[in-house]
């Protein structure tokens, strides 16, 4: 198929052919860092609008651009402004120099200098990351608009809430306010171009007299977050300087670094629903502070510039105005850049628009517009030849002028494309400022009106919860997201839902009603839809395993309700039934709360906890299921117990110890814990570490390379091996990073100070090897407990630790990031203590356990069958999963192995699954309790007297 490219002048076309032929004829190591096509074009000393040009910077910018069609008059020059610090003034060269990346403080240093030299630029530091680096914000606009930013902020806040802004005031605000357009750069740290580009864009916006730029300045204040992931940026810059500075072939790039942030790798763009990372918290806070109508996330991947709309299915809770804005804006950019002669600008055929947890959805979920770019990048800033797959270069209706099959690509090309698109995007908003602001107000109005006119009219979260701490956490998370939560001042009945005084109510007649809906309702991902880009289900009540009731009666909004403005804490309950300090026993009901580990640790090491392995009778009407914690009154008094239960949402009783009736029990021995990580994937184990840290559990952090030299059993009782990603196999985990790159140090040095954290290694290649594998097996044989989550279980399964257990192929099953129904098979197993008969399980492509039928007693949880299996999301061809094991727990040697067939610690989202892991850790040396073949004697310690 022949593809047309933009027509150039004869001279430029000849220069293009010469430059391209030169680059293509050279070996990868010989690609020049400067290209001479531009020499056929004279660099004028002034722009058509009369502004002086920085000729030397312009010459370099054009020389680093590999072909004339990869630039245009918007960005092919650098305007001169003697009083304002340019990137060349600050760094000695313009942005886009081959081989050069700037660290966080270097970027901030330039932005601070720019702000100090221009009244059109402001710079401020925001909050800090987990590793102590600052996030920052740059604001660029006219002097007049920057001078009234506080008034703009107040006006945008009123515009965001139609309940306090009448039509006349909204119209006045629309007529008066500038729009705010916010860019996020550097979220994905190995996508290195955006933090470089935004430095030049900020300068251009501040000083250029281009009529287009002047229109932008007068009508828009551009916000720029120059580095959204500062911790990762510094690690990647150091990695480039350490290993890739002289690499000119993509096949020779040294993979790494192994970490970005302290916890989160690529998933830092999947944190919008749980708000765990400091960067997410700060950027959500930025929106809730400013209520800007457009947010734009700058990424790199597909060639040359993808402008987001997505293939669909779109999330059905998004206002149709926003969906139309996606198309309107993207088609403007594609049309304008194509008209400028730039090939490879397109939309539609990438991403879906379903999952609301990305950074760009900070705006989409709150009545603004969320967008993103994918600009072609090399990751490392060196100029190199790139070949493209055929699918990327085909003519499509959404890509009428595709990229070349092969190209020499540079950091400056990347800057040109991204900056041209971004400026055109802001120009569209500037030209249509009142339309964009009016749409923002209308989307908020639509949400409130829908909340008043359509069921559900509210959600009730009763305080009488089995897992009060979990419900409290969920409600506080909603409030952190900017949603309103009320508390009932009276009782009421609304249809089949009863509200008691003190219960929490989430009214739907609020501006973020659509976000409430997408979080609280179940998802139904269409069977005939394209493959999803990420998870397809995230339903809060299921993820937290708490009771939430939808109300279909509009009268719920008339109930006497009090807006909550403090942290919510559903206090636990304590009741003294009988017994005193001499003869009593405290009975605590953990109820499989995600907070049981934190609660246990809060008791302190001086309080002995005993776990009841049978049912306890509290009084004539009440019993407590197996798994209750038994505490002695002389170790924790009644008042302290009551305060502790209230703090941690627990239910506790004091009874006579004679009521225990000689019940079987075992001591809860707090183990010495290690978290094992590989060097090939630190993403999922980072989420696991975050979850353990939130619980306050101390652990050693060890790598696969540490295993061979360790006597694991002498140091640890439990090894937690987190999920390794859906594509991992036993072979890939075992082999680790390819030794062809070794020795590959990730250690802190004076030259590379960002490396070596949160763990370091002199050589990260080679995996655990046979010695490491043997160390794991010996650890279990000698009495340790190995908890392998998700694909980490392939190590004990595929390497034969467990003789009769296998993983079976996925086949045609398609279960992407969904919530399935689990059924408790063996309620006597400590792993499921506190759960009922069923529980929601997060599931993403297995792994799928195959266990002999005669070992069902070692299966604490299985998947439900038939129509009961899928709770939220999608599960195609999933019939073969029915009643299959979800967890397998078995003794091995003197120790124990627990295999999770799903990620029970997924992104700190599926809180309802956390207690499965906590139970396995807290009962690590008593996991055989309740595991016996039919007819065999139960495992039962001595009766408790």
Q: Which residue matches tokens 């990620």?
A: 903
| Token representation of residue 647 | 């703090």
Residue 591 CB coordination number (10 Å): 25
Q: Any idea what DSSP says for residue 397?
A: T
What per-residue confidence (pLDDT) applies to 853?
86
Residue 301, beta-bridge partner list: 376
940 pLDDT above the threshold of 90: no
Q: 1-15, 282-296, 475-489, 854-868: lowest mean pLDDT where?
A: 1-15
- The closest alpha carbon to 886, from 812, 820, 798, belongs to 820
- Judge contact between 855 and 890, C-beta under 8 A: yes
pLDDT above 70: percentage of residues in the chain? 95
Within 300-410, residue ranges assigned H as helices are: 320-339, 361-364
29 pLDDT above the threshold of 80: no
**∠ CA(665), CA(668), CA(672), 5° rounding?**
150
- Phi, then psi, of 610 in degrees rounded to 5: -115, 140
Beta strands in 681-761 (DSSP E): 700-703, 718-721
The CA distance from 197 to 208, in Å, is: 16
Give, for 297, the enclosing helix (H) or strand (E): strand 294-301
17 pLDDT above the threshold of 70: no
The CA distance from 763 to 759, in Å, is: 12
Residue 223 CB coordination number (10 Å): 22
The pLDDT tens digits for 655-714 are 999 999 889 999 999 999 999 999 999 999 999 999 999 999 999 999 999 999 899 999
Within 538-655, residue ranges assigned H as helices are: 540-544, 596-603, 638-648
Q: Any idea what DSSP says for residue 405?
A: S
Beta strands in 134-270 (DSSP E): 134-140, 179-185, 220-225
The pLDDT tens digits for 883-926 are 999 999 999 999 999 999 999 999 999 999 999 999 999 999 99
| Token representation of residue 284 | 């959500």
The CA distance from 364 to 272, in Å, is: 11
- The closest alpha carbon to 848, from 915, 791, 912, 786, belongs to 791
- Burial class of residue 53 in the structure, from the number of CB atoms within 10 Å of its CB (0-12 exposed, 13-18 middle, 19+ buried): middle
28 pLDDT above the threshold of 80: no
The pLDDT tens digits for 497-510 are 999 999 999 999 99
Q: Report pTM.
A: 0.95
Higher pLDDT pick, 438 / 41: 438
Residue 868 CB coordination number (10 Å): 13
Enumerate long-range contacts of 863-869, CB under 8 Å, 24 or more apart: 863/820, 863/821, 863/822, 863/823, 864/820, 864/821, 864/822, 864/823, 864/838, 868/821, 869/820, 869/821
Q: 20-24, 152-156, 316-320, 903-907: lowest mean pLDDT where?
A: 20-24
Q: Any idea what DSSP says for residue 890?
A: E
Query: How high is the mean pLDDT of the chain?
Result: 94
- Judge contact between 421 and 181, C-beta under 8 A: no
The pLDDT tens digits for 233-248 are 999 999 999 999 999 9
148 pLDDT above the threshold of 90: yes
Can you tell me the mean pLDDT for 16-33? 47
What per-residue confidence (pLDDT) applies to 39?
85
- Phi, then psi, of 296 in degrees rounded to 5: -140, 115
**∠ CA(354), CA(355), CA(357), 5° rounding?**
150
């Amino acid at each position: 198929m022949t593809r047309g490219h933009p027509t150039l002048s004869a001279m430029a076309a000849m220069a293009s052919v010469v430059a391209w032929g030169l680059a293509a004829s050279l070996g990868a190591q010989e690609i020049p860092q400067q290209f001479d096509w531009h020499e056929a074009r004279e660099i004028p000393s002034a722009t058509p609008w009369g502004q002086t040009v920085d000729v030397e910077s312009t010459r370099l910018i054009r020389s680093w651009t590999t072909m004339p069609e990869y630039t245009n008059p918007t960005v092919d020059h650098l305007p001169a402004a003697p009083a304002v610090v340019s990137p060349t003034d600050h760094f000695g060269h313009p942005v886009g120099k081959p081989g050069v990346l700037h660290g966080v403080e270097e970027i901030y240093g330039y932005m601070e200098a720019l702000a100090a030299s221009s009244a059109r630029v402001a710079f401020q530091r925001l909050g800090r990351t987990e590793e102590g680096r600052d996030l920052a914000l740059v604001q660029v606009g006219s002097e007049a608009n920057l001078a009234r930013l506080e008034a703009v902020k107040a006006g945008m806040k009123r515009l965001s809430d139609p309940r306090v802004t009448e039509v006349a005031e909204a119209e006045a605000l629309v007529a008066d306010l500038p729009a705010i357009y916010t860019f996020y750069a550097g979220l994905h740290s190995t996508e290195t171009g955006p933090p470089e580009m935004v430095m030049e864009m900020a300068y251009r916006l501040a000083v250029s007299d281009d009529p287009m730029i002047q229109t932008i300045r007068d009508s828009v204040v551009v916000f720029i977050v120059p580095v959204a992931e500062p911790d990762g940026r510094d690690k990647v810059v150091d990695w480039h300087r350490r290993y890739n500075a002289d690499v000119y072939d993509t096949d020779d790039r040294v993979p790494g670094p192994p970490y970005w942030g302290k916890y989160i790798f690529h998933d830092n763009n999947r944190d919008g629903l749980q708000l765990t990372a400091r960067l997410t918290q700060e950027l959500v806070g930025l929106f809730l502070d400013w209520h800007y109508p457009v947010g734009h996330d700058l990424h790199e991947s597909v060639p040359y510039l993808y402008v987001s709309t997505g293939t669909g299915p779109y999330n059905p809770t998004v206002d149709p105005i926003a969906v139309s804005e996606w198309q309107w804006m993207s088609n403007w950019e594609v049309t304008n850049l194509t008209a400028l002669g730039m090939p490879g600008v397109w939309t539609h055929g990438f991403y879906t628009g379903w999952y609301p947890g990305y950074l760009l959805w900070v705006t989409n979920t709150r009545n603004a517009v969320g967008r993103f770019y994918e600009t072609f990048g090399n990751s490392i800033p060196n100029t190199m030849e790139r070949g493209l797959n055929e699918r990327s270069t085909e003519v499509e209706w959404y890509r009428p002028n595709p990229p070349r099959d092969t190209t020499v690509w540079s950091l400056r090309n990347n800057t040109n494309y991204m900056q041209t698109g971004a400026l055109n995007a802001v120009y569209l908003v500037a030209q249509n400022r009142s339309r964009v602001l009016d749409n923002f107000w209308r989307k908020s109005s639509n949400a409130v009106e829908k909340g008043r006119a359509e069921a559900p009219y509210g959600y009730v979260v009763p305080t009488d919860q089995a897992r009060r701490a979990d419900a409290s956490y969920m409600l506080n998370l909603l409030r952190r997201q900017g949603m309103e939560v009320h508390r009932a001042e009276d009782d009421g009945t609304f249809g089949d839902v009863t509200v008691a005084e003190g219960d929490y109510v989430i009214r739907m007649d609020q501006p973020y009603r659509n976000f409430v809906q997408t979080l609280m309702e179940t998802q139904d991902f269409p069977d005939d839809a394209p493959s999803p880009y990420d998870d397809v289900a995230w339903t809060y009540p299921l993820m937290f395993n708490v009771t939430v009731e939808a109300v279909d009666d509009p009268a719920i909004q008339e109930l006497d309700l009090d807006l909550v403005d403090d942290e919510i804490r559903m206090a636990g309950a304590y009741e003294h039934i009988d017994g005193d300090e001499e003869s009593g026993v405290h009975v605590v009901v953990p109820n499989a709360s995600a907070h049981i580990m934190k609660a246990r640790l809060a008791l302190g090491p001086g309080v002995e906890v005993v776990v009841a392995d049978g049912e306890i009778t509290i009084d004539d009407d009440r019993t407590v299921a197996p798994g209750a914690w038994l505490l002695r009154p002389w170790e924790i008094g009644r008042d302290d117990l009551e305060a502790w239960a209230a703090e941690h949402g627990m239910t506790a009783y004091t009874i006579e110890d004679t009521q225990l009736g000689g019940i079987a029990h075992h001591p809860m021995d707090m183990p010495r814990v290690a978290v094992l990580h590989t060097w090939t994937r630190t993403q999922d184990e980072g989420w696991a570490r975050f979850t353990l840290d939130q619980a306050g559990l101390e652990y050693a952090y060890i790598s696969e390379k540490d295993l061979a030299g360790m006597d694991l059993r002498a140091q640890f009782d439990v090894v937690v091996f987190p999920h390794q990603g859906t594509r991992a196999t036993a072979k890939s985990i075992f082999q680790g990073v390819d030794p062809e790159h070794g020795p590959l140090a990730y250690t802190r040095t004076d030259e590379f100070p960002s490396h070596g954290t949160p763990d370091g290694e002199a050589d990260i290649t080679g995996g655990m090897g046979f010695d490491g594998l043997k160390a794991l097996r010996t650890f279990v044989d000698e009495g340790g407990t190995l908890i392998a989550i998700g694909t980490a279980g392939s190590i004990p399964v595929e390497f034969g630790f467990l003789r009769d257990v296998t993983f079976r192929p996925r086949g045609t099953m398609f279960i992407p990031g969904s919530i399935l129904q689990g059924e408790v098979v063996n309620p006597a197993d400590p792993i499921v203590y506190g759960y009922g008969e069923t529980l929601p399980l997060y599931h993403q492509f297995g792994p799928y356990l195959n266990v002999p039928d005669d070992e069902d007693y070692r299966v604490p949880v299985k998947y439900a069958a038939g129509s009961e299996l899928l709770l939220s999301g999608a599960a195609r061809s999933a019939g073969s999963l029915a009643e299959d094991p979800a967890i397998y727990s078995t003794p091995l040697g003197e120790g124990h192995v627990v295999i999770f067939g799903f990620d029970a610690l997924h992104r700190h989202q599926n809180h309802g699954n956390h207690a499965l892991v906590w139970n396995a850790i807290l009962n690590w040396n008593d996991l055989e309790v309740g595991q016996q073949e039919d007819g065999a004697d139960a495992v039962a310690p001595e009766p408790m007297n």
